[in-house]
Amino acid sequence: GAGVSQSPSNKVTEKGKDVELRCDPISGHTALYWYRQSLGQGLEFLIYFQGNSAPDKSGLPSDRFSAERTGGSVSTLTIQRTQQEDSAVYLCASSPQGGPTPYEQYFGPGTRLTVT
Amino acid sequence: KNQVEQSPQSLIILEGKNCTLQCNYTVSPFSNLRWYKQDTGRGPVSLTIMTFSENTKSNGRYTATLDADTKQSSLHITASQLSDSASYICVVYGNTDKLIFGTGTRLQVFP
């Protein structure tokens, strides 16, 4: 079956513009995660969805970042007024269920965002 | 502070050789520990998942160990292949829905 897909694969934007990143999780997965991977850095947790609700938004770096999930499926991560430090690879992952159980997370290929 | 530290930062080995990657963590409470392989330009792919009660888990030529008392884990790769060249990421899951990622070990396997 299809894995996690993300679009666009690459995005170049000018500083100050808004961008929307999309994630299509594996069908039937209730948990969805967004991460950010900056050059030479480890993955940084941004936000977690269980269904359409986000019990943990603590990783969002500023109020310029927001995310939503509709229909328990597709999620969009929006970055407003982009800054150069937002340049990174944004990864999405889905899991059959969330919570502190060892369900495997399946990652998408990521969106490489470059802010010029 | 919850942290996951990996060593070495990078490693070069010859094809056919074995290697061991290390992971130390301070995450508490601890739920499970995962090792991921990330090829360049791709998302991470899970290799192993271990709960605190498991000491070892294998996936083909990959064997992960866990010592929950010392909060250390290792990933042993046997008979390395060129396709093993990748970043290997240790990830620890506490009691929240948040994973703590290590910065990874960059492994290069040369013929």
Each residue's pLDDT tens digit, A9-63: 999 999 999 999 999 999 999 999 999 998 877 788 899 898 899 877 888 999 9
Residue of B nearest to A112 (CA): B41
Kindly tell me the burial class for residue B33, based on how many C-beta atoms sit within 10 Å of its own C-beta (0-12, 13-18, 19 or more). Answer: buried
Reduced to 3 states (helix: H, G, I; strand: E, B; else coil), residue A75 is strand
> Amino acid identity of B43?
G
With contact defined as beta carbons under 8 Å apart, do B83 and B75 qualify? no
The first and second tokens of residue B103, run together, are 């910065």
Contact (CB, 8 A) for B86 and A32: no
Residue A9 is classified by DSSP as S
pLDDT attached to residue A39: 81
Hey, is the C-beta of B46 within 8 angstroms of any chain A C-beta?
A: yes
Phi, psi at residue A85, to the nearest 5°? -70, -5
Cβ count near A63 (within 10 Å): 7
Break chain A down into helix, strand, coil percent, rounded to 5.
5, 50, 50
Segment B94-105 shows an average pLDDT of 80
Beta strand B10-14 pairing with B105-110: parallel
What does pLDDT average to over chain A?
90
When computed from its CA atoms, the radius of gyration of chain B, rounded to whole angstroms, is: 13
User: Does A107 contact chain B (CB < 8 Å)?
Assistant: yes
Residues of B in contact with A55 (CB under 8 A): 97
Which residue do the tokens 């074995």 mark?
B18
